[in-house]
Structure 1
Amino acid sequence: MPFVVAALLALLIPLHALSAQSSRADTGWHDPSPHTGRSVVVAPGVQLEVLDWGGTGTPMIFLPGLGNTAHSFDVFAPRFRDAYHVYAITPRGFGASSHPDSGYDSPSRARDVVAVLDSLGLSRAILVGHSIAGDELTRVAGEHPERVRALVYLDAYSYGGGGADLQLEGEPELPPQTLPPPAMTSADSASPAAMTAYWTKRYGVPAIEAEVRAVERFGPTGKLELFQAPNASEQVYLGSTRSEYARVRAPALAIYAVRDRMPDIFPEYATFDSTNRRLARAYVAWSKRYSAAQIGRFRTEMRCGMVREIAGANHYVHYQHADRVERMMRAFLTNRLGRAKAGCRVG
């Protein structure tokens, strides 16, 4: 996972950061995910997109990672409709939500989540956050414990204020021979479907066309249009704070994609020369220490926490290992909520 964290702004969201709003390239396309959508006012002049898959039972709200929208859960979220009422929120600055100039710091993002709960009339909910959304989970649970029934962190490390909690100053140099991600060609940008295929190739997990359409802009012919947009991703990253796990009283599950083996991080290692192999070994050793420290802090500080690890998994663990992640979540929500540790806040 550290390999992804270290390149969070440069690798995971280079395309997202260039798009300011969603654009429908063809009016005949229909989102196949069985949700409805609405806009919820969370602050003066700021509305957030909320997707609603329906379902019965405790509300479950999904929060996407940096650069993503609620549509990133179009495939995974509906799995839980049999036992929960499922929603997802597109954060400010992305997709169909408002793009204000400010409000991307941790306190503001947490207030946005609480405002959505208020608007939907939800007194308490299970919050599920991917990647940097873990920051919002921890803050909402710490400041508003009465609103949170349980938390699920999907490969969500404590990212800290722009790297302060990452200890990136000690990160070794990447081997120069590391292969870059596949370049985008003219054919890749010819249509939303082509871009979806490119995303699948670039990120190593099946991409969702609705998500591609939500974060990219396409012209009237369907071709991708790139233009510089306000860098909400950077503001979110720099506005994140060190996760205060010790303040959380709700049961919490963290599912980590542990990528700290040589084949996970440098699959092209066999082609490296001696200098690059030395750099690769140093990086993998650092990655192991980093993962152990992050996971260890969650285990130690989270009062009612549970950790599950998936070795070699992609950062989008709920895409790549959807069945396994679903089983982990259901087992946790069934067993931990019904039989909580002493000191956990469970209602």
Structure 2
Amino acid sequence: MFKLVIGDTAFDKFLEFNLNLRYDSVASDFSFTAWFDPSNEAHKRAFKPGDYQTAKVYYNDEILLTGTVLNMSFVSSAQNNALAISGYSHTGVLEDCQIPTSAYPLHSKGLDLKSITEKICAEFGINVIVDPSVSGRIGKVFKNATATNQQSAKQYITDMAAQQGIIVTHDANGNIILTECNTKATPLFDFTGGIPGIDFTLDFDGQKMHSDVTTLRQAKIGGRNTKKNPVVGQAKVSNPYCNVFRPRVARQQAGDEHDTGKAARTNLSEELKGIGIKGNLSTWNINGVFIKPNQIITLENPYLFLFKKTRFFIESVSYKLDTNGESCSINCYLPEVYNQDTPKNIFE
């Protein structure tokens, strides 16, 4: 069962509780509604607006999220005195804030991704962990890395990481993780043939797709294409899900000439998110395993135009607990969104 701890007060009774765990993101989030008793000192400590208290979410004593309480909505009426509260992981502040001036200069020439990320995250009291899967390439120095004062801290870090094929995610303890997906993992769930109580939808966004993606590198990364800043390199990748002429041209946002190919592949990965699987389940567990992001499932279902067993990566899971019981929805993408493999059309 879910348990929420705000400061020194634990709560396990809710009118409704929602938790959204994400993998390809710097933060997850939570929300709940409950009765508010203004004469209860524990309630007054936990729900005081503007305190930005630490919140921890547990499921059967396993910690799922360490975060911050952000928003409160109090109600006073003849019918109820309910309170709605929401928040996100400690790392979510990177989405809301620009790089603080105390971390200037914005130009990070000669630094690697780990150093850049640690420099920014330290300003917010956030630890950075490098997964062993990327330790061999995390030390590559950027020749030219400049943020803008309009960029969020998260946007700058993730843009830099994308040029090296590295994912910026977070863990249950509120740390930033530099990693890569284990898309070759053994599937934990096989939904071939359908399972009672589970509904799936497959969405294909053809407007998001392009026949090929050409990424241009200019002499000065981030500038306009002018005589003083000409295009000095390019890389092109093809999208197997678009067989008509729909070209796309993008600019490389960071890195050097060795990163242009990876930048093009990253742009293709964004297009591949136009193929998504969503599953609605009436449980949080299958065969005794708690469903979480960063897991592989397999699915074969002719009604979804999947005529052969196909692998999907669970990117996010949304859990809900209310008077009707527990339920969750999973959002999945093709593994090729998260690795450098050449994608093949799953519909052929």
Give the TM bin, normalised by the shorter chain: under 0.3
Query: What TM-score, normalized by structure 2, do the two folds share?
Result: 0.25
Question: Higher helix fraction: Structure 1 or Structure 2?
Answer: 1
Q: Which structure's relative contact order is higher, taking Cα pairs within 8 Å and 6+ residues apart?
A: 1
